[in-house]
Structure 1
C-alpha cells in the first residue's frame, strides 16, 4: 500500500538504527539522492544513484562513525498518498571515536512514486552540523529522547532544549 509517511519513517528508522534493509520500504530501486552540505563538519557525496548506494552512504558508512542517532522531522507527516513532502529536520548523535556530540539541521525534500509510494528522489540540505562537548551527552540525549519521534513540532523541540551555546545556530534555524 502506498504510504509516504511510512516511506519517510522507514528511512529515519533505517538510518538512525543502522538497519539498511528498511530502505527497501523507503526508496524505489532507482531512487536518487542529492545532498547540499553547507558546513565543513560533515561530508557526503553530492549525488547518489540507486537504493543500494543510498543505503551504503546513509546507513552503512554513516553508522561506522556515528551512534545514538535521533532524527526528527518537523511538522505534520504527509498524507499517505502524497507525491511530495518538504520539511525541516534536526539530528542529534554521538561520534563513535570520540564521544563528541553532533547536532545538525536542514531540510528534506521528498518526491514519491505515484505507483509505489516509495521515494524516487530525496534532496537533503544540511545547514548546520554543530560539534558539542561530550560532557553535554546526557542532557542532550535526554532532550532528544523526550521528544515525539520521528515527527515533532518545532515548538516542542525549542521549548525543551537545554541552554547550551553549542546548540544555538540549530535552534535559531528550527525557529525560523
Structure 2
C-alpha cells in the first residue's frame, strides 16, 4: 500500500459528515437525476383511545428499494390526560415539531459542511401555537393546525454572524420538512378495504 492510497482511504469529515461521500452523491445525482427520487413510508395502527403506533422501515431511493434497515423504527403516539390520553407517547403535533427540528438541524449541518463551516455547538428549541377549536370543529374560522411555529437555533461555529444568518435563511428554504410545512402540499386520504 502506497502513502497516496493510505491518504485516499482516509475520509475527511466536517461536522460528522464525510465530505467526499457528499461530493460523490452530488455528482451521481447530477449525472442521473432519477436517483434523486425518493419515497418514504410509514404505517400506523390504532391501539386504543388516542394511542396509536407508527412503524417506519422501508423506503425507495437512489434508484432502488432500500434494504439497509434490519428492523423497523417504532413510534408510539399518545395524548396527555388533558386531551383524553394517558401520556402513552408524544402526540402527533409534538412529533411534527420533532420532525421539523431534526430536518432543519440536519439541513443546516449538511449545508454548513458544503460551505466549509465547522459547527462547534448547535441546539434548537421549537414552540408551536395551536387553537383546539379548529380540531374540535367549534369555530369554522379557526384552522385545525398550528397557527405559528417558532424555531430558535443556538449556534457556535467557525464563521461570521453574517455567514450564519445566510446559512439559516438557506436552510429554511431547503429543509424538506420545513418546506413541506411552509407550503400547501396535497394530501390524499382514502379508505381502502382490508
**Which TM bucket (shorter chain)?**
under 0.3
Using CA pairs under 8 Å that are at least 6 residues apart, name the structure with larger relative contact order, 1 or 2.
1
Give the strand-richer structure, 1 or 2: 1
Q: What's the TM-score, normalizing by structure 1?
A: 0.24
Q: Tell me which structure has the larger Cα radius of gyration.
A: 2
